[in-house]
Amino acid sequence: MKRLICFLKSDVAKIIASLIFFISAVIFEQSISELGAIALYISALLIAGGGVFISAVRGILRRDLLDEKFLMSIASVGAMIIGEWREGVAVMIFFLVGETFEHYAVRKSRASIRSLMDICPDEACLIGGNGEETVLDAEDVAVGSTIIIRPGERVPIDSVIIKGSADVDTSSMTGESIPVAASVGDELSSGFIVTNGLLYARTVREAGDSAAARILALVEDANESKSAEESFITRFSHYYTPVVVIIALLVALVPPVFGLRSLADSVYTALTFLVISCPCALVISVPMAFFGGIGGAASKGILFKGGSVFSKVSSVHIAAFDKTGTLTNGKFIVSDIECFDIDRDRMMYLVSSAESLSNHPIADCLKNYSNKKTTPVSAKEYAGEGVEADIDGVICAVGNARLMQRFGVRLPEGIDLSDRILVAIDRTFNGVIRISDELKPEAGDAIKKLRSLGVEKALLLSGDRKEKVDKTAVDIGVDEAYGELSPEEKYNKLTRVISDQGCTMYVGDGINDSPSLAIADVGVAMGGVGQDSAIEAADLVIMTDNLMKIPQAILIARKTINISWQNIVFALGVKGIILILGLFGFANMWLAVFADVGVAVLAILNSMRALKAPRL
C-alpha cells in the first residue's frame, strides 16, 4: 500500500496519467464539444504541471523570475492562451520526462560517487571486559576501546592490532591492490579491509578524526572552492540570462508593432526562446565533471583538493622533487660493514641490540640487521649523535664522530668518517657501518613518463649531501640538482623557480616541507594519510608511496578538464543553435525543452566518464 502511494506520487505516475488525458483529448477533440476537449487538456496539464506551477509561484514570491520552472510555466500557459493547447500540455509532459531523466542521472552519479566514497563502516563491534560484544555507532566509540574486526569487514576506526594477524586490503585508502600482512602492533587505518583473519584492535582515534573521515571531509569540501572554469560559467550566466530576456521581449513585441507577424506567433517564438535560455545544463556541466574526476582519482589513491587543482595539474611544466622519503623509500639499508679486532656477527649482534629500543629511522635498519639480539640492560639516546647501551655488561656506543668524542673514543686516522655509523665497544673503536637510502624502483620511469606528458624540467631539491644528490640526479635523470639545502633554502630556491618559469609542481613527503608544498603552484604530498600539516598545505595528496601516481594524476586532470570543456562547448553549442533557430521561428517548444533538459542529461552522462580514471 505504501509503495502504491509512493508510486502514485512519483513523476512516472504523473507522466502516465497525464499522457492518458492528453491522448484522449487529441483523439476525441473532433467528436466531443470544445469545452470537453479543453477540460481534458487542462486536467492533463494540471497532473503533469501542478508541482511545476507551485514551484513557479514560489519563484515569483522570492522574485526569482528566471527560475526554470517559472519559464516552463509561462511557456505552457502562454501556448494555451494563444490557442496551442496540444503544445502547451506537451511541453509540460516533455519537461517532466526530461526532469525524471535528469534526476535519474544525478541519482546515479551520486550513487557511484558514494560507492567510491563508501570506505568506512558506520558501526563498530566492541569487546567488553568480560568478552561480551556490543555493536555501537562508530562515532560513540571512545579512544582506547577494544574492537573486533572479522574477515571481510572494514576497519571502522583508526586502531592498533592487539591480537591476531591477517592480510589487509588497503586499496581504498592507498590505492595499492596488493594486500599487506598485519599483526600485533601494526596500525590499522579506518577503511582497510581485513581479508582473512580475526583481529582485535585498540582504537587510537575517535571515528571523526580517523583517516577515512578526514578523507571524506576533504572530498566533500573539495567542490566548494571554485575553479577557473566554474567562475567562467558563473560570469557567463550573469550576462547570459538578462541578455536572453531582453532579446525575448524584443522578439515578442517588435514584429507585431511593425505588423510583420501576429502577436500570438511572435509571443510563441519568444516563449520558446525563454525556455531554451535556462542555464541549468551549463551550470551543472562543470562541477559535475570535476566531481567525477575527484571520485575517479580517489579510487586510485589520489586526492585532488578542489576543482581548481585540475587545471593547474593538467598544465604542469616544471616538477621539483624532494629526495629523502619522496624519491627514495626513506628506509635505510646497511650497505657496507668494516670491523676491527672483532667478529662481524658479534659486532652486529651488539649493534642490533643497542639500537633495539630506538625509533630513529637509521636505527630501524640497524636493529633488524642481526637476527640474534637481546634487550639491553640500559640504553640512552643522544639526539643527533647516537645511542649508548649496556648489553649484558658490555658497553656499546653506536653513532657519529661526535658521540665518539663524547666518550673519548680514540678514532684511527685515514678513514672517511663523514656519513658513517661508528661503533665503539667498551670505549674502543671497533667498526664502521655504511648505510644508504634506497631509491624507489619506479623513480626513473616516473620522471620519464612526466617528460612524455610535457614536463620540461625536473629538479631535485634536497637537504642531503651534494655528492649523493648529484648521483641520484644522474640515476633518475633530472635536469638540475641542489643538495645541502635547509628547509628554508629549499623554499627560497623553489620561490625563484616559480617566479621564473611556468606552472611548478613540488613533490615532497610532507616532513619539514609544508611551506614548499604550499608555495608551489601544485603541492604534492606523497604517502601521507598521517601527515595532517602536509595534507593541509598540499593541493594533491598521493596516498601511496608510488611515484607513478603523479603522471597518472596529470592524466586524470587532463581528462577531467577535457570533459568539462566538452560539456561547456556542447551545452553552449546546442543552446546557441536552437536559440538561433528559435529566433527565426524554426524551433518549436519541443526542441526548446530538449535544449534545456536534454542537454543537462547528456552533460551529466558525459561527466560520468570522469569517474573512470585513465590508465597510464
Partner 1 sequence: MKIKYTITGLDCPNCAAKLASQMNDIEGIDSAKINFLTEKLTVETALEENAAYEALSKAAKSFSRDIKIEK
Catalytic (active-site) positions? 322
> Which positions ≥6 away from 201 have C-beta within 8 Å?
146, 147, 148, 149, 155, 159, 160, 161, 162, 188
Binds partner 1 by CB under 8 A, chosen from 146, 223, 315, 533 = 223
Q: Quote the least distance from Cβ 77 to partner 1, whole Å.
A: 20
As given in the structure block, the three cell numbers for residue 447 are 620522471
As given in the structure block, the three cell numbers for residue 281 are 545544463
Binds partner 1 by CB under 8 A, chosen from 91, 403, 600, 601 = 600
* Interface stretch with partner 1, choices 98-106, 242-250, 484-492, 516-524 (CB under 8 A): 98-106
Find the distance separating the first CA and the last CA of the chain, reported in whole Å: 52
Whichever of 112 and 566 has its CB closer to partner 1, that residue is: 112
Binds partner 1 by CB under 8 A, chosen from 95, 96, 98, 102 = 102
Q: How many residues bind partner 1 (CB under 8 A)?
A: 27
Residue 168 makes contact with partner 1 by CB under 8 A: no
Q: Quote the least distance from Cβ 604 to partner 1, whole Å.
A: 10
Please classify residue 304 by burial: count the beta carbons closer than 10 Å to its beta carbon, then call 0-12 exposed, 13-18 middle and 19+ buried.
buried
Residue 137 makes contact with partner 1 by CB under 8 A: no
As given in the structure block, the three cell numbers for residue 267 are 509571443
Length of the chain equals: 616
As given in the structure block, the three cell numbers for residue 413 are 686516522
Phi, psi of 579 (to 5 degrees): -60, -45
Tally Cβ neighbours within 10 Å of residue 88: 24
Strands (E), 244-326: 302-304, 318-322
Residue 2 makes contact with partner 1 by CB under 8 A: no
Binds partner 1 by CB under 8 A, chosen from 75, 212, 288, 556 = 288
Residue 109 makes contact with partner 1 by CB under 8 A: yes
Q: Quote the least distance from Cβ 280 to partner 1, whole Å.
A: 5
Binds partner 1 by CB under 8 A, chosen from 280, 337, 439, 605 = 280
* Interface stretch with partner 1, choices 107-115, 255-263, 423-431, 558-566 (CB under 8 A): 107-115
Binds partner 1 by CB under 8 A, chosen from 49, 121, 287, 376 = 287
Q: Quote the least distance from Cβ 430 to partner 1, whole Å.
A: 60
Give the span between the Cα atoms of 46 and 296, in whole angstroms.
Answer: 42
Binds partner 1 by CB under 8 A, chosen from 21, 273, 291, 310 = 291
Give the span between the Cα atoms of 493 and 56, in whole angstroms.
Answer: 58
Give the span between the Cα atoms of 85 and 98, in whole angstroms.
Answer: 20
Residue 193 makes contact with partner 1 by CB under 8 A: no
Residue 596 makes contact with partner 1 by CB under 8 A: no
Strands (E), 327-373: 328-339
Q: Quote the least distance from Cβ 212 to partner 1, whole Å.
A: 15
Please classify residue 359 by burial: count the beta carbons closer than 10 Å to its beta carbon, then call 0-12 exposed, 13-18 middle and 19+ buried.
exposed
Question: What pairing do the DSSP bridges indicate for beta strands 421-425 and 428-439?
Answer: antiparallel
Residue 293 makes contact with partner 1 by CB under 8 A: no
Considering only residues 12 to 71 of the shown chain, the ones binding partner 1 according to CB under 8 A are: 54-55, 58, 61-62, 64, 67-68
DSSP state of 448: H
Interacting residues with partner 1 (CB under 8 A): 54-55, 58, 61-62, 64, 67-68, 99, 102-103, 109-110, 113, 219-221, 223-224, 279-280, 283-284, 287-288, 291, 600
